Amino acid sequence: MENGRATAPEPRAAPGELETVRQLINSRSIQRGTDELISIDALAAWLHNHDFNVDTTSLTDDSHQLFLRLREGLRALVMVNSGEPPEKTALKGMESVAQRLGLGFQVGSDGSLSAVPSGNGLERAAGKLLLIAYRSMIDGTWARLKACSSDTCRYAFYDNSKNHTGKWCSMAVCGNRNKVRKYLKEHQA
């Protein structure tokens, strides 16, 4: 809410919990050269701002690096959704994160079975984010989470286009820059 009014979601926001994954990926801006998770304190603030109930006093350099590997692995996965070849180093880093995070199963009172993150603190938060990505792959929303096709941007966005062919985080910015670049290249003689 802003000034007592509900604010509309960002036009390229992902639905439900997947939006938190998108925000994690976008916590590092390639275009601006900034990183919201530059330090352990910054990571603690990000976790708090995204409603992760984590005892941030236990964060270490190792757990900070784990979260950064998770973020870059998720970015690599959304780049695959955008038609890019898999970034092997980022995916290997994410695989090591996934192996480190324990997942447990919970049986509901209705007899349902669900995967839940186990562990404590940061590992539990990272596990929750990984499960959100996994569940969205199952429900079909993951394929619409993409990275901007601009090499200098790579901003994660949710592709709301009818035919799932969105390439740019913003047609007015990155899409237009690409069109101008292409035009200039074709008309230089």
35 phi and psi, to 5 degrees? -140, 115
Query: Tens of pLDDT along 55-108?
Result: 878 788 998 999 999 999 999 999 999 998 888 998 888 888 888 887 888 898
The residues spanned by each domain of the chain are 18-143
For residues 76-93, b (16+ Cβ closer than 10 Å) or e, as one string? bbbbebbeeeebeebeeb
* Per-residue confidence (pLDDT) for residue 61, from 0 to 100: 92
Q: What pLDDT score was predicted for residue 6?
A: 44
- Where the chain has pLDDT below 50, the residues are 1-9, 183
Q: Which of 103, 122, 121 is nearest to 113 (CA)?
A: 103
pLDDT for 103 equals 82
* DSSP secondary structure letter of residue 2: B
**C-alpha span between 20 and 129 (Å, rounded):** 8
